[in-house]
């Protein structure tokens, strides 16, 4: 049980080390890569069953991604939307957690190699490592933009945005001051829309405390290459959202593709926007690991093509779930990269593993679409579920309720709920904190 | 009003820029360096008076230092103990806040130079920039130890401590594993004691979720060169605290001076302690700025020697308050570096400035010592106020109450209170989050 791991370790583990559970005749070992919505749900579903589950993640926490933009805009603290993975699965003695990164999978040998050299054998593998920010071939844009996938990135956005206001406050009216007060959000999906709305509201909160910068001085531009924002929504809700953003002061720029991003500069064809803060919310692709797997990938985003049973074709015991997987259902439309897909796939795969269902007897995964929603700002949101479509304050309450409900951990629910009530009543932000490198040297440009 | 600033600025500020208030015949300009307990109290006391106040700080937030160790041990989030300085003084139109660092003071010209080149004139100056960690001449120890003065440092301690447990969990019983599970706290003052107690409690919380590491495997050593911890306390309370720490599992090492600190190593004479985590809580000295002022400093800690009116001798309009100042009162004992001193000095100086009291008419500052207290752990604390001395659960409740009471901001009070209740009931920690660089490469040492 220990030997299979010792092979690649520098020092052979002695009894008492944590090798993770090993496969035995009766108990299959399930290796889960990633503790996001898919991986954590799968681990919980397999908890206290006749399996040995080993969950690997690079972080020690499960992150509630849908509220990450609120960390970036100083509304919530990082700990409010994160929970230690170990705490979540503690009661399940068959589940082991390990802080590690997978670097290679040998599907034939049923073995995964980790970044620090260990190798782990598995009976079942579940790849749930999610997605990463994609620049659609313009990887050089990464250095000039801020993205929003991890807590560290969210805290960096918060730092940069709050510093921009501080810098503007210390400058006379000038192009430099305008540049600090111009915030560009690229991508009109839910993340971009929520980010833009939250930014303009944050500007209002911060500027109340400033002496020379007024809220009207701050510009938030939302750039979308397609004809409308929130393309997953019905057209009239997109229009509603666009108008709501305009009312709040956001400048939506639709049908405008970014042609160039440089230092402090976004170009849309002939239009040049001078800005110190560019937030990239335009797209995601699968993580780098997928490229090294030697399995068929979706051409556009590099996701792992899976069969109707969420398994990788030819490897019935290896599954890919959530954002890392690509499956175009019977209607040819790929599943959206949202948490309900990940969680439903996890429950589906848990059943296959628990009952050791052979390939031939697996009924295809069916996604039950509960709907989609996006918040725009204070008392403003849009939501759609089946034929039920709603916009405005009621949609906003629905959004709040759903997000509190799905947030993992009692403490987090209380903290987020209280933060929201407090922010709503006081027009403040709970985490208006500049941490990390302070006081960047002024740019040499004028 | 603008000219005096433009001199050193690259671009001359145009009307509408934020020059900060300028001195006029009737309204003196008060320049406050630092937004800690002294600086913020002074700004508030001078709020809405006939003065123009400009408060400079390197951070955008006031930090409630006494609870910083709880951020370091995952009990509280950074935002729970910080509040934007601008929010605190917003209602006082005569108070301006600026994110900046002072690099030079010309007392004769009554001018302060900032790190980015601007210069600011003042009528009254209040140096409230606090203290920094001191290694008593062993500056090379800084790179091997973690200190606890800022939020970033607290988050780094949290990261390192939580990672140490993660690393230990992945290792077989071995010297390397022991090293990860050995936490050394140097300094037996309140910070060291609170840190040691919180660390052993954190170990218990984290190890409940681990599969191979048991709480008993973790060692927390508290090293104090003097004969007893909490030297400001009566001897019997120090003894009580030492025994309480022992009961909790901390190993106090009294009368043991550190002779060497290296990579993963602390030496106390012949005793060598192998550890991955060394927390330095042994002392503070004044910040670097004081050395460049050309004013008399206290030899030991580099603090600014002030007169009984908190002013720098020879400069009756320049004050030094809080941890940056040194004043041995009539009894020859220097004031302790605690927040009540800072706040009382600030109120005292505010009165001098508000009423423009000339040197000859200033009554000496008198410190009213409300007492001192330190928490050790769950339901354990010691407190002393005048002849009132108490230890145990009552002292702990007193400690909780006092800290909630003095915490700035309603939201912070609610959050901290709720975090404490939740931690007390569930034996969990509210912010068990590893952020920043993850998965350090394993050390080459075996």
Q: Quickly list DSSP for B279-317.
A: EE-S-EEE-GGGGGS-S-B-TTT-PEE--TTSEETTEEE
CATH numeric code, B3-14+27-58+100-133+285-361: 3.50.50.60
What is the per-residue pLDDT for B117? 84
* Minimal C-alpha gap between A431 and chain B (Å): 5
**Which one of B86, B149, B167 would you mutate to disrupt binding with A, by most A Cβ within 10 Å of its Cβ?**
B86
Which positions in chain B touch A433 (Cβ < 8 Å)? 60-61, 78-79, 82, 84, 151
List Cβ neighbours of A43 (8 Å cut-off, separation of 6 or more).
Answer: A32, A35, A53, A55, A88, A89, A92, A95
Q: Same CATH topology for B3-14+27-58+100-133+285-361 and B139-282?
A: yes
Q: pLDDT by residue (tens digit) across A79-102?
A: 999 999 999 999 999 999 999 999
**Angle B321-B327-B330 (CA atoms, 0-180°, nearest 5)?**
135
| A-B Cβ pairs (cutoff 8 Å, strict) | 183
Mean pLDDT of the A247-257 span: 97
Chain B within 8 Å of A103 (Cβ-Cβ)?
no
Tokens of A169: 């406050």
This complex has an ipTM of 0.90
Q: Residues B194, B201, B224, B276: which is the catalytic one? A: B194
Q: What residues of A are in contact with residue B62 (Cβ under 8 Å)?
A: none
Give the tens place of pLDDT for each residue, A428-442: 999 999 998 765 444
- Strand pairing report for B219-224 and B250-254: parallel
Q: Give the residue-averaged pLDDT of A21-29.
A: 68
Q: How far does A60 lie from chain B, in Å, by closest CA?
A: 6
**Known active-site residue A216:** no
- Shortest distance, CA A277 to any CA of chain B (angstroms): 19
Instruction: Give the per-residue pLDDT at A438.
Output: 62
CATH architecture label of A3-14+23-58+100-133+285-361:
3-Layer(bba) Sandwich (3.50)
Q: Is a pLDDT exceeding 80 seen at residue A34?
A: yes
Please answer yes or no on whether B86 and A210 come within 8 Å at the CB atom. yes
> Which pLDDT does position A9 carry in this prediction?
34
Per-residue three-class SS string for chain A: CCHHHHCCCCCCCCCCCCCCCCCCCCCCEEEEECCCHHHHHHHHHCCCCCCEEEEEECCCEEECHHHHHHHHCCCCCHHHHEEEHHHHHCCCCCEEEEECCEEEEECCCCEEEECCCCEEECCEEEECCCEEECCCCCHHHHHHCECCCCHHHHHHHHHHHHHHHHHHHCCCCCHHHHHHCEEEEECCCHHHHHHHHHHHHHHHHHHHCCCCCCHHHCEEEEEECCCCCCCCCCHHHHHHHHHHHHHHCEEEEECCCCCEEECCEEEECCEEEECCEEEECCCEEECHHHHHCCCCECCCCCCEECCCCCEECCEEEEEECHHHEECECCCCCECCCCHHHHHHHHHHHHHHHHCCCCHHHCCCCCCCCCCEEEEEECCEEEEEECCEEEECHHHHHHHHHHHHHHCCCHHHHHHHHHHHHHHHHHCCCCCCCCCCCCCCCCCCCC
Residues of A in contact with B155 (CB under 8 A): 435
pLDDT value of position B220: 98
Low-confidence ranges of chain B (pLDDT < 50): 1-22, 440-446
- What's the whole-model pTM score? 0.91
pLDDT (0 to 100) of residue B439: 52
CATH topology of domain B139-282: FAD/NAD(P)-binding domain (3.50.50)
Domains in chain B: boundaries: 3-14+27-58+100-133+285-361, 139-282
Give the residue from chain A lying closest to B16, CA to CA: A172
| Whole-number pLDDT of residue B106 | 96
Closest B-chain CA to A17: B172
Q: What is the DSSP letter of B334?
A: B
Of B86, B174, B439, the CB nearest to A115: B439
Residue A314's pLDDT is 94
Contact A18 B212 (CB under 8 A): yes
Residue B80 contacts A, CB cutoff 8 Å: yes
**Secondary structure in 3-state letters for A33-71:** ECCCHHHHHHHHHCCCCCCEEEEEECCCEEECHHHHHHH
Inter-chain CB proximity A172 and B13 less than 8 Å: yes
Burial per residue of A170-187, b for 16 or more beta-carbon CB atoms within 10 angstroms, e otherwise = bbbbbebbbbbbbbbbbb
Q: For residue A26, what pLDDT is reported?
A: 73
- Please name the fold of domain A139-282+391-426: FAD/NAD(P)-binding domain (3.50.50)
């Amino acid at each position: 049980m220990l030997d299979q791991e010792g092979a690649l370790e520098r020092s052979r583990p002695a009894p008492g080390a944590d090798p993770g559970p090993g496969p035995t005749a009766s108990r299959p070992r399930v290796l889960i890569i990633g503790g996001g919505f898919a991986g954590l749900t799968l681990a919980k579903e397999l908890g206290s069953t006749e399996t040995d589950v080993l969950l690997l993640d690079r972080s020690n926490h499960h992150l509630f991604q849908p509220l990450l933009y609120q960390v970036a805009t100083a509304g919530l603290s990082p700990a409010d939307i994160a929970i230690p993975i170990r705490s979540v699965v503690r009661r399940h003695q068959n589940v082991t957690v390990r802080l590690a990164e997978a670097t290679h999978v040998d599907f034939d040998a049923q073995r995964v190699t980790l970044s620090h050299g260990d190798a782990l054998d598995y009976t079942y593998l579940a790849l749930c490592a999610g997605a990463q920010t994609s620049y659609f071939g313009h990887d050089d844009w990464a250095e000039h933009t801020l993205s929003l996938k991890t807590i560290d990135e969210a805290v960096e956005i918060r730092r940069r945005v709050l510093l921009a206001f501080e810098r503007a406050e210390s400058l006379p009216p000038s192009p430099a001051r305008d540049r600090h007060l111009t915030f560009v959000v690229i991508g009109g999906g839910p993340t971009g829309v929520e980010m833009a709305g939250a930014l303009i509201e944050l500007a209002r909160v911060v500027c109340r405390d400033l002496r020379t910068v007024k809220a009207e001085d701050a510009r938030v531009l939302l750039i979308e290459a397609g004809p409308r924002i929130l393309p997953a929504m019905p057209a009239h809700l997109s229009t509603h959202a666009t108008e709501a953003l305009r009312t709040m002061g956001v400048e939506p720029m639709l049908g405008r593709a970014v042609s160039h991003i440089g230092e402090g500069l976004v170009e849309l064809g002939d239009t040049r926007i001078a800005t110190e803060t560019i937030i990239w919310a335009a797209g995601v692709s699968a993580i780098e690991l997928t490229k090294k797997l030697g399995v068929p990938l979706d051409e556009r985003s590099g996701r792992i093509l899976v069969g109707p049973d969420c398994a990788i074709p030819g490897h019935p015991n290896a599954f890919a779930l959530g954002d890392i997987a690509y499956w175009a259902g019977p209607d040819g439309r790929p599943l959206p990269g949202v948490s309900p897909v990940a969680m439903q796939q996890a429950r589906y795969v848990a059943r296959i593993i628990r009952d050791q269902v052979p390939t031939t007897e697996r009924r295809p995964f069916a996604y039950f679409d509960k709907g989609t929603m996006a918040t725009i700002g204070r008392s403003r949101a849009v939501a759609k579920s089946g034929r039920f479509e709603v916009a405005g304050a009621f949609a906003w309450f629905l959004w709040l309720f759903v997000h509190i409900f799905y947030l993992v951990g009692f403490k987090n629910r209380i903290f987020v709920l209280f933060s929201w009530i407090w922010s709503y009543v006081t027009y403040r932000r709970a985490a208006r904190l500049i941490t990390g490198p302070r006081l960047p040297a002024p740019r040499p440009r004028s």
